Every structure is written in C-alpha cells, then in structure tokens.
Amino acid sequence: MAKRNTIQRQLVIAAVRFLADHPTAEEVYDRITMEYPDISKGTVYRNLNSLVESGLLGKVSVPSGADRFDHILARHYHIKCTHCGKFMNVENFEYIPDMDEKVAKVTNYKMNHHDIVFSGVCPECQKLGDEVNGEELGNDFN
C-alpha cells in the first residue's frame, strides 16, 4: 500500500506540474527523458496511474485522443476546440456541485462527481475561419 518514493515517481510528478497544461503520458515521458533518458515509458504510465489512484493527480479522458493528466486537483471543466483540437481549462467558471445532487436524486446513484467538456471553436480558429471563408465551422460533432 505504501508507495515508494522513487526518482521516477518524483520526476513524473515534477513533469506534470511543469508541463501544467494537461500533458499526455507521451509528453510527460518526453519531458523526463530530457534530463533522465533511462526512464521507460511503462514506468511513466505506471506512475501516472498510481498517482491518479492516490489522488495526487487528475486524469482527463479526452475524446479522440490520449488521456491527459492534470496537476490541478480542484474540480474544473474543460473545453476543446473542434477546429484545432486544443484542450484547455475553462477559467472563471465554477464547478457546480448542485448538479451532482440533482442527478443523484433522479438516478439513485451515489454521486461522486461529473466532468464537462465543452466543444466549440476557439477565438484563434474563428479568425482563421473568417479569413478563409464563412464555412462550416462548428459542425463537427466532437
């Protein structure tokens, strides 16, 4: 049960914090190999998962893409640009615990939490779209 405090484990935590913006396992691995080339990808995956289980990191599963890891533990929502795929936190928008209670009532689940992923076209892609054309921005389903 007790987790050993290995160098690799520390490096994984440090990398996720350093990369900050929802790195994938691959990105964490790449970052670590810069200073510690001998780590294996399996170890990165094992540590990421173990840290998530311990509650030290969050895991965000992204539609059509690798899972991402999050050093911010406070509940928050995410937004994905359907045009460029960029994935970010939604700032200035509070987690709504109310919804858990309401859904618990209608479903009889013992509610834990909820994840929201907003989909839309980011300001940068909107500009690009305007230049190219007024085309079908925002018709993607994911």
Partner DNA sequence: ATCTGTGCAAAGTCTTTGCATTGCG
Partner DNA sequence: CGCAATGCAAAGACTTTGCACAGAT
Residues within the interface to DNA (CB under 7 A): 3-9, 24-26, 38-43, 45-47, 49-50, 64-67
Tokens matching residue 100: 């858990």
* Cα 11 to Cα 15: distance, rounded to the nearest angstrom: 6
Nearer CB in complex with DNA: 65/138: 65
**Is 61 or 73 the residue whose CB approaches DNA more closely?**
61
Answer with the entry of DNA, a copy of itself, none that 6 interacts with (C-beta below 5 to 8 A by kind).
DNA
Tell me the site size for a copy of itself, rule CB under 8 A: 47
The answer to whether 64 contacts a copy of itself (rule: CB under 8 A) is yes
| Among residues 58, 68, 71, 87, the one that binds a copy of itself under rule CB under 8 A | 58
Q: Are 14 and 21 in contact (CB under 8 A)?
A: no
b/e for 49-81, b at 16 or more Cβ within 10 A? eebeeeeebbeeebeeeeebbbbeeeebbbbbb
**Contact call for residues 76 and 90 (beta carbons, < 8 A):** yes
26 binds a copy of itself (CB under 8 A): no
- Interface residue list for a copy of itself (CB under 8 A): 52-53, 55, 58-59, 61-64, 67, 77, 79, 81-82, 90-93, 99-100, 102-104, 106-123, 126, 137-138, 140-142
